[in-house]
Structure 1
Amino acid sequence: MTNDAAKLILRLTVGIMMLFHGLDKIINGIGGVKYLTASAGVPEFLAYGVYVGEIVVPILILLGAYARIASLVLAFNMVLAIFLAYGNSLFALGKHGAPVFELPFLYLIMSILIFMLGSGKYALNSK
């Protein structure tokens, strides 16, 4: 397998899986995100940024269009998600023994990898 194929698989995995989170926000709304932002003392209107982080950015990553920039936005989105949703329980473990913030942390690391590796040749703007 080539490095470019591995980059494509990474981009497709992150983009598709994150897009499911965005579609859930479209279908069910962002009430939970609004609650978390308001509880943290952040203006509630900033919760709408979740649509950028979970719909626009995954599409860009999927296409390989400005994937490095998009992956930085996703990484920022995941840092915010970790601290807003799990800030009071960062050291808590889930029912299977992993940290409770395991999933957003994995997205954070994978988005950093996309930033470091680039989108590869199977992308709209291949680099």
Structure 2
Amino acid sequence: MFINPDIAKLLLRVSLGVLILFHGIHKVIHGIGGVKSMVVSAGLPEFFAYGVYVGELIAPIFIILGLYARVASTVLALNMFVAIYLAYGFSLTLSKFGGLAWETPLFYFIMSLLVVLLGSGKYAVNSK
């Protein structure tokens, strides 16, 4: 049986990075007005909203490339944690389909933590 943990790490990194990058590109095209309003509603300064560009544009590119993937994944995990807090407040409400309302950002948060724990593997720009 063919087992290669480094290919699994590559698949994890690329899938996570590409999926999050779509969100970042959407924010570049359509702006971050929604994020700004959530940040201000939480009592935080409006400029904090611009951190979403770091978390959803820069970090995913680094994750895809495997360039400081652990650091970039930590940034993304923090971004997802804040997104969950701002959008859902950690409420245990269910979606209309029966799942946790914030399961998608939670999934991204967990994937980010996996990259932090596992590292980028040998198929990465700065592999050892």
Deviation at 1:90, TM superposition (A): 1.4
Q: Separation in 2 of the partners of 1:3 and 1:103?
A: 25
Q: Separation in 1 of the partners of 2:106 and 2:7?
A: 24
Q: Separation in 1 of the partners of 2:84 and 2:114?
A: 18
Q: Deviations over 1:58-77 (max 9, x none)?
A: 00000000000000000000
Q: Deviations over 1:35-88 (max 9, x none)?
A: 00000000000100000000000000000000000000000000000000001x
Q: Separation in 2 of the partners of 1:30 and 1:63?
A: 26
Q: Separation in 2 of the partners of 1:14 and 1:57?
A: 11
% identical aligned pairs = 59
Q: Separation in 1 of the partners of 2:127 and 2:102?
A: 32
2:27 maps to 25
Task: Give the RMSD, CA atoms, in angstroms.
Answer: 0.8
1:1-127, aligned counterparts within 5 Å?
A: 1-87=3-89, 90-127=91-128
Q: Which runs of 5+ in 2 are unaligned?
A: none
Answer whether contact 1:90 1:99 (CA < 8 A) is retained.
Answer: no
Q: Separation in 1 of the partners of 2:91 and 2:74?
A: 22
Answer whether contact 1:12 1:62 (CA < 8 A) is retained.
Answer: yes
Q: Separation in 2 of the partners of 1:49 and 1:109?
A: 20
Q: How many residues align?
A: 126
Q: Separation in 2 of the partners of 1:44 and 1:85?
A: 15
Q: Separation in 2 of the partners of 1:112 and 1:41?
A: 27
